């Protein structure tokens, strides 16, 4: 019962609400079933990236800029992503909101003393439940 008392409920509610809006928006668009699978995988990937310790993330990102060719590729990719950000600003804001909520959840879990794997699973469950609630709400409401 003590784990239920130490959970950051306000942050987890925020995470669930942001993913509910994402599920609602996607359910209003005519998307095939495998797009939902890709979104669920992306949710788990984002949650994994956010809950990974920063040292591990720095080790992986260091490999991207070891050579001039890789640095050039990363710069081209960043420019393309910046173009997409401007072209689809509404989608970018939705993604920024989701990333911010997940980051806030990671910080709250870290302050509460949870391990990374616990933070990952709890945040993933709330994210996927929110996505499912948004999908159901978008289809039937």
Chain segment 94-119, per-residue pLDDT in tens: 888 998 999 899 899 989 888 888 88
Separation between Cα atoms, residue 19 and residue 125, nearest integer Å: 11
pLDDT of the residue at 134: 92
For residues 19-47, average pLDDT:
89
pLDDT of the residue at 57: 60
CB 105 within 8 A of CB 119: yes
pLDDT of the residue at 1: 52
Of 38, 6, 18, 11, give the one whose Cα is nearest residue 129.
Answer: 18
Q: Where are the domains of the chain?
A: 8-140
pLDDT of the residue at 13: 93
What residues have CB less than 8 Å from 99, skipping those under 6 apart?
46, 50
Given a cut of 90, is residue 132 above it in pLDDT? Answer: yes
CB 14 within 8 A of CB 101: yes
Please tell me what DSSP assigns to residue 136.
H
CA distances for 10 relative to 4, 7, 34, 105, angstroms: 13, 9, 32, 9
Given a cut of 90, is residue 18 above it in pLDDT? Answer: yes
User: Whole-model pTM?
Assistant: 0.77
pLDDT tens digits, one per residue of 43-79: 999 888 887 766 666 666 666 666 677 778 878 888 8
For residues 125-139, average pLDDT:
91
For residues 56 and 4, the model is more confident at 4
pLDDT of the residue at 56: 62
Q: What is the mean pLDDT of the chain?
A: 85
């Amino acid at each position: 019962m003590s784990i239920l008392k130490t959970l950051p409920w306000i942050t987890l509610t925020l995470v669930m609400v942001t993913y509910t809006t994402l599920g609602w928006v996607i359910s209003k668009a005519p998307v095939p079933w495998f797009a939902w699978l890709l979104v669920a995988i992306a949710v788990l990937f984002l949650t994994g990236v956010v809950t990974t310790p920063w040292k591990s993330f720095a080790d992986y990102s260091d490999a991207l800029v070891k050579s001039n060719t890789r640095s050039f590729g990363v710069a081209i990719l960043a420019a393309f992503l910046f173009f997409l950000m401007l072209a689809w600003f509404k989608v970018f804001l939705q993604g920024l909101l989701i990333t911010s909520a997940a980051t806030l959840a990671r910080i709250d879990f870290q302050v509460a003393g949870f391990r990374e794997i616990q933070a990952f699973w709890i945040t993933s469950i709330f994210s996927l439940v929110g996505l499912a609630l948004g999908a159901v709400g978008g289809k039937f409401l």
